[in-house]
Amino acid sequence: MNWLSVAEIAKITRIPAPTARRYASLFKDFLGGRKMGRVTKYPEDSVTVFERVSRLYGEGKVTVEIEDALKSEFPRTIDVEHAEPRSPVPTQSHDSLASDIAAAFTEMVSKVTSCMEVIANQKTMIERQQDDILKLKSAFVLLARSQKKMKQLPGEGDELPPEIVEQTRALEQKDAEIEEMALKLSFDTSDIKAKLQILESELVRLRKDRREMEKFLQEKIDRLRNGSE
C-alpha cells in the first residue's frame, strides 16, 4: 500500500496544505492515518475522503454535517501508531478528560467570541464611514446647486466686471471638481457596501459554526461523563 503525507495529498487534491492538515485533524477517524516516525501518513484511498470533505465545505456544510455525511459514506478507521514499545502510561479518568475538554471548549469559544467582536467593530466602523461619505456627498451636491443658481442670476449691467467673470470661471472649475468628487464618493460608497455585506456574511457563518461546535463538543463531554458513571 502506498502511504502519503498531508503535503503529498495537498498536491494531489490541490487543497491548500494548512486546510488539508485541518481536515486530517477533524476527520482522522475516516482517514486511517499511521504514525511513521514523526510524520503521520495516510493510505492512498484517503485522497477520496479529503476531496469529499473539500466539496462538502464548498457546498456550505458545517463540520458536524460533514461528519454525519462521512459516517454514511466511509467506514471509520483506527489510527495505528507504529512506534517503539513504551512503558504503560496511566489512563486518564473520564472526569479528568471531560474537564480538559470542557476547558479547551471554553478557550475555543472565547477565541471565537473575540473574532466575532472584532468583525462587529469593523462593521460599526464601516457603517460610520459610510454615513460620513453620504453626508459629504450631500453637502457637495448642495454646494454645486447653490453655485449654479448664483451663476444663473441676471446681470444688472451690459457687461460684467472682470472680477465677476473671473469668479464665475472659478465657480465653473469648482463645479467640475465637485462633480468628480461626488462621483468618486459614489464608488467609495458602493465598495463599502460590498465590504459590509462580506463582513455580515462572515459574522453569520462564525455564529453558526460556534453553535454547531458548542453542540458537538457538549455531546462529547456528556458521553464521556455518562461513560464514567
Q: Where are the domains of the chain?
A: 3-82, 94-153+161-228
**Strands of 34-36's sheet in order across:** 3-4, 39-43, 34-36, 80-82
Query: What CATH number should be reported for the domain whose range is 94-153+161-228?
Result: 1.10.287
Q: Is the pLDDT of residue 26 over 80?
A: yes
Please tell me the distance from the alpha carbon of residue 216 to that of residue 203, in angstroms, as a whole number: 20
Task: Specify the pLDDT at position 138.
Answer: 72
Contact 34, 3 (CB under 8 A): yes
Burial class of residue 26 (count of CB atoms within 10 Å of its CB; 0-12, 13-18, 19+): middle
Instruction: Please give the pLDDT value at position 169.
Output: 75
CA angle 140-130-205, nearest 5°?
160
Q: What is the pTM of this model?
A: 0.36
Measure the CA–CA gap between 40 and 24, rounded to whole angstroms.
Answer: 10
pLDDT score for 202:
79
Domain 3-82 grouped into CATH 3.30.160.340: no
| Rounded average pLDDT over 56-80 | 83
Among 110, 26, 32, smallest CA distance to 61 is for: 26
Distance between CA 175 and CA 150 in Å, rounded?
12
Three cell numbers, residue 137:
456627498
Q: How far apart are CA 122 and CA 199, in angstroms?
A: 8
In 3D, which of 58, 60, 69, 59 has the Cα closest to residue 27?
69
pLDDT in tens, 80-133: 444 444 444 445 555 666 666 767 667 766 667 766 777 777 767 777 777 777
